[in-house]
Chains A and B, each alone.
Chain A
Amino acid sequence: MSLLIATLAIGLVFAVLALGIYMSFRVYQMPDITADGSFPLGAAITARLLRDGADPVTATLAGMAGGALAGAITGTIHVRFKVNALLSGILVMTALYSVNLRIMGASNVPINARTLFTPFEEAARASFGPETSILGRSVPSGDLGLLAASALIAGIATILMVLFLKTELGAAMRATGDNARMLRALGTSTDRMTVLGLAVSNALVALSGSLFAQMQAFADAQMGIGVIVLGLASVILGQSLIGPVRSVALAVIGAVMGAILFRLLVAIAIRLGLDANDLKLVTALVVLAAIVGPGLIKEIGRKRGTHAST
């Protein structure tokens, strides 16, 4: 039971990541690998500031701001200097590896200070005692506080994201990914929209990294490896859950659900004996299958069809 709660809590933290990846991958149709750098960047800034005695809210928001800056730099390299989008992301991601080490001063920093989650854990312990029982099983109350806090943050982030995509600015960003020529004809700089959109995307990714670090009580320079693929897996899984969508709200909620479900599937797979070292390989294969699969199935179907007709 405790494992399930921890899994859900991490899934909710990765839901915030999925929101960020939804923005770059679905809204801009651009898999932005900056995420592999901005996720640990959010963690690094938060860990450093908490060690230096900053309050958790400030430390978390500063992590987000760092992510926004990283995304804006990727966007600027891409639109201003016409560098391929993927390469822009790779450059910033690589540079961020050093930046993160500089910020933390070491490749791994433990977080011993109070975090964003501490008040929730304390409140849960104060009202339920150290242990409480759910469905007849004993659970540490602190974990419930953790789960409530991550649900609250992921919920707020999701609602804000949906509302944002329905503002003039958010809709202009969607139109940029959809049909940039049209938006330019309507008098909006698509360059500016791309820079802003990648800033929003990476701010969310960094927030997810910051929350993940606070939950695990450490930040690590390596923690960003494969984050983009994890986010893509969530977004794609979410899309297959929801089906072809007609509303933005549903699409965003799909990405969030995809992240939580993916985390649950991972937990189950490890429980069933999957070596945790193989996790990234399996994740990459899942994403590949999800992207290539539908086309392949159609192709095979077509070939069968032509054979049958001849």
Chain B
Amino acid sequence: MLQLNAVRKTFNPGTANEVRALAGVTLALAPGSFTVVIGTNGSGKSTLQAAISGAFELDAGSISIDNTDITRWPEHRRAHLIGRVFQDPFAGTAPSLTVAENLALASKRGKWRTLAPLLRGARRGEWKNLLAQIGLGLEDRLDDPIGLLSGGQRQSITLLMATLTGPKVLLLDEHTAALDPRSAELVISLTTRLVASSSATTVMVTHSMQQAATLGDRLIAMHRGQVYLDVSGAEKQRLTETELLALFSQMRRDDRFDDDACRLVSAQYR
């Protein structure tokens, strides 16, 4: 169970660049659930993930995983509970290390890095099976530096690395947005398989209304740092891409209206 309680975060407070990224978000995500998060630019959907992963300190509110309060834990301390895949397909792997070395570092997620040889006792057979699942012939490239692989290949391996140790929470941050359509499709089908076989509470941010309509068992739309829409169960399954697109234009209209209203008010008081 992943719980967020009245989480607030403002970047650059008191300056011209002040951004209220999270304006009181409360969510309870069931163990093993798969939630898709959508929202306009600057709606706070990526900040939400960053808050869960511990990239910054909250202004207010708390976050807990399985009833353990992790609000004050630094990023690296939470990592044994949280698997992450970033938008940048090159962000999740270390290019000069081999595929096997990257997987080995991930298999010791959250543990002390000791003086034991990294690849001693490596479960190469198991990794080869996992890599074969991706269907890109990666099983034969365990000892190649991962920097030689393509973005789609590296993002697929990042997904494997994120789920390798069975984390409590899996965060996917627009992880197909920077890929070509074919690679994106491949990574999505791998995502579906890995999420189904894992018990992690999954939170996936996406820009694709098609992904939002077809994936997951719950959908959350973020707007201005708050939860704008939250549907699950049968209602979520009925949602279509067209309806989501309509919802999106509605949110964009709200954005415009609010700005106009602001201008109107400030003009009247000048």
Give residues in B with beta carbon < 8 Å to A. Answer: 53, 74-80, 82, 84, 86, 90-97, 101, 104-106, 108-111, 113-119, 144-145, 161
With A168-B118, A179-B91 as known contacts, state yes or no: A186 contacts B109, CB within 8 Å. yes
Interface pair B145/A179, CB less than 8 Å apart? no
Segment among A46-54, A68-76, A116-124, A169-177 that sits at the interface with chain B: A169-177
In the complex, A299 has a CB within 8 A of chain B: no
Interface pair A178/B53, CB less than 8 Å apart? no
- Docked pose: A246 CA to B95 CA in angstroms: 11
In the complex, A102 has a CB within 8 A of chain B: no
Chain B residues near A166 (CB, 8 Å)? 117-119
Interface pair A174/B79, CB less than 8 Å apart? no
In the complex, A310 has a CB within 8 A of chain B: no
Chain A residues near B161 (CB, 8 Å)? 186
Interface pair B105/A186, CB less than 8 Å apart? yes
Interface pair B118/A179, CB less than 8 Å apart? no
Interface pair A174/B109, CB less than 8 Å apart? no
Interface pair A179/B94, CB less than 8 Å apart? yes
Interface size on A, residues (CB 8 A): 25
Chain B residues near A179 (CB, 8 Å)? 90-91, 93-95
- Docked pose: A175 CA to B91 CA in angstroms: 11
Closest CB-CB distance, B45 to chain A, in whole Å? 18
Main secondary structure, interface of A, reads helix
In the complex, A283 has a CB within 8 A of chain B: no
Give A245-277 as 1s and 0s: 1 = Cβ < 8 Å from B's Cβ atoms: 010000000000000000000000000000000
Interface pair A168/B115, CB less than 8 Å apart? yes
Q: How many A-B residue pairs have CB under 8 A?
A: 89
In the complex, A189 has a CB within 8 A of chain B: yes
Main secondary structure, interface of B, reads loop
Closest CB-CB distance, A235 to chain B, in whole Å? 15
Interface pair A167/B92, CB less than 8 Å apart? no
- Docked pose: A125 CA to B161 CA in angstroms: 58
Chain A residues near B108 (CB, 8 Å)? 168, 186
Interface pair B79/A171, CB less than 8 Å apart? no
Closest CB-CB distance, B49 to chain A, in whole Å? 12
In the complex, A188 has a CB within 8 A of chain B: yes
Interfacial residues of chain A within 174-193, with CB under 8 A of chain B in the complex? 174-175, 178-179, 181-190, 193
Q: Which of B75, B119, B145 contacts A246 (CB 8 A)?
A: B145
Interface pair A186/B101, CB less than 8 Å apart? no
Interface pair A188/B114, CB less than 8 Å apart? no
With A175-B97, A182-B93, A186-B106 as known contacts, state yes or no: A169 contacts B119, CB within 8 Å. no
Chain B residues near A186 (CB, 8 Å)? 79, 105-106, 108-110, 161
Residue of B nearest to A251 (CB): B96
Chain A residues near B94 (CB, 8 Å)? 174-175, 178-179, 182-183
Interface pair B111/A187, CB less than 8 Å apart? yes
Closest CB-CB distance, A25 to chain B, in whole Å? 14
Q: Which of B76, B95, B110, B144 contacts A178 (CB 8 A)?
A: B95
Q: Which of A164, A171, A189, A246 contacts B105 (CB 8 A)?
A: A171
- Docked pose: A166 CA to B105 CA in angstroms: 11
Chain A residues near B118 (CB, 8 Å)? 166-168, 170-171
21 pairs from A and B in contact (CB 8 Å cutoff) = A167-B116, A168-B105, A168-B113, A168-B115, A168-B116, A171-B104, A171-B105, A172-B105, A172-B113, A179-B90, A179-B91, A182-B94, A184-B79, A185-B75, A185-B79, A186-B109, A186-B110, A187-B76, A187-B77, A246-B144, A246-B145
